A and B are shown apart, each in its own frame.
Chain A
């Protein structure tokens, strides 16, 4: 194999990588969708402070998680590294969500100054993961 043939093959590999990574931008929709779900759920649960509010929040979670799971399962490409990105996003979200709900119920029931910023914070981990996925899908390197 000659030097120019090797360069040509490497260029082809790079082109394939770019094409495949571009098909990974679906994760941005998933991550940001998950973040929005968290925002709505935390606000519903925290600001209503009633059993009805908690039930409504759980219904929103059930509908959104089903929709997001179906959306994820239908994607034809799972780009490399997304499983780890997803795991980190969900792990951080779980920690923030758990802290928000537990501390909120005991110490800040219906306190807007607690629930609103924490709802925004709980939306960040998966949204950031989605943004990272979007950046990766656009990268040509």
Chain B
């Protein structure tokens, strides 16, 4: 049995990206400015991380108009959601210590 560490997703693993994906996983759609405030990072930092997640196919960005303003909305793709769920499962296993084996006990 492989250690759950090997099932951690490299793209999601970075702390800021993990928080972004965790926030997006709780919603169908979140506006950029709200996600920025939720994760507590700057506009540029969020843009940078979103680009990485978009390239990985985990996040979809859409722009729409409300009155005179253009708003940016973000959502997790089905691939992103699956990757996040798998990542969280691996984290839970590591946290519970289920796969930690003591030598000589088998």
A77, B18: Cβ atoms closer than 8 Å: no
Nearest to B90 among chain A residues (CB) is A6
B26, A1: Cβ atoms closer than 8 Å: no
CB neighbours (8 Å) of A77 from chain B are 27, 29-31, 34
Which one of A2, A78, A82 has the highest number of Cβ atoms from chain B below 10 Å of its Cβ? A78
CB neighbours (8 Å) of B88 from chain A are 10, 13
A-B contact pairs, 14 of them (CB 8 A): A1-B5, A1-B8, A3-B100, A6-B92, A9-B91, A10-B95, A16-B19, A17-B22, A19-B23, A20-B27, A20-B38, A77-B34, A80-B28, A83-B28
> CA of A76 to CA of B25 in the docked complex: distance in angstroms?
15
Nearest to B40 among chain A residues (CB) is A19
CB neighbours (8 Å) of A51 from chain B are none
> CA of A10 to CA of B34 in the docked complex: distance in angstroms?
21
Instruction: Give chain A's interface secondary structure class.
Output: helix
Say if the beta carbon of A49 comes within 8 Å of chain B: no
- Within B35-71, which residues are at the interface with A (CB < 8 Å)? 38-39, 66, 71
Nearest to A83 among chain B residues (CB) is B28
A23, B34: Cβ atoms closer than 8 Å: yes
Nearest to B37 among chain A residues (CB) is A19
B27, A78: Cβ atoms closer than 8 Å: yes
Point out residues on A near B: beta carbons under 8 Å.
1-3, 6-7, 9-10, 12-13, 16-17, 19-21, 23-24, 73-74, 76-80, 82-83
Nearest to A17 among chain B residues (CB) is B26
Nearest to A75 among chain B residues (CB) is B31
> CA of A19 to CA of B25 in the docked complex: distance in angstroms?
12
Partner of B38, one of A6, A16, A79: A16
CB neighbours (8 Å) of B15 from chain A are 9, 12
> CA of A77 to CA of B28 in the docked complex: distance in angstroms?
8
A6, B18: Cβ atoms closer than 8 Å: no
B22 shortest CB reach to chain A, Å = 4
B95, A6: Cβ atoms closer than 8 Å: yes
A16-B26 contact, Cβ under 8 Å, with A6-B91, A77-B31: yes
B33, A76: Cβ atoms closer than 8 Å: yes
CB neighbours (8 Å) of B27 from chain A are 20, 24, 77-80
Partner of B94, one of A1, A76, A82: A1
